[in-house]
Amino acid sequence: MSDMLVALYRLPEQHGGLEKLKAASIVIRRAIAPEKQQVLNWVRTHFNQHWVDECDVAFARQPVTCYIALEYGKMIGFACYEATCRNFFGPTGVSTDARGKGVGTALLLACMHAMRADGYGYAIIGSAGPMDFYKRTLGAVEIENSTPGIYEGMLRAD
């Protein structure tokens, strides 16, 4: 999968989407250090160890670079940035039963707005899976010759 580039100075507003989710009892917010093990366990249960490892790094940053989605206080999604490389977005994931509610979009925008506030003009989405989603939501463009990217030669379980 190719990487994608996002112009952070052209981000869509996020407030309306957050208010809509809040009305449905879904909250998007930055995770805090005491939640680390709960978040890592949730990511391990719903996704994979590589994402757990990246999420762990996001908790080592100050401020934490992991956002979480909660529905009635129960975790339903997460998104990280600056986990494997500076200025990179990901990993991100939403539980299967919470998909289609706008949670993934809200987590993505929360991270992108945080990256903009951190002083970046552009962000990179590493090994972008749903490229059409990123194009539609952020106007992201594919970075030519970016495959296999930063994960080239990464150790994999046998």
How confident is the model over 54-79, as pLDDT tens digits?
A: 999 999 999 999 999 999 999 999 99
**Token code pair at residue 31:** 């995770």
Question: Taking residues 148-155, what's their average pLDDT?
Answer: 88
Nearest Cα residue to 12 out of 137, 115, 141 = 137
Of 3.40.630.30, 2.40.50.140, 3.40.190.10, 3.40.605.10, which CATH number belongs to 4-149? 3.40.630.30
Share of the chain above pLDDT 90, in %: 91
Q: What is the pTM of this model?
A: 0.95
Residue 104, CA distances (Å) to 9, 77, 85, 87, 93 in order: 20, 7, 21, 19, 7
Question: Taking residues 6-16, what's their average pLDDT?
Answer: 94
The per-residue pLDDT for 58 is: 98
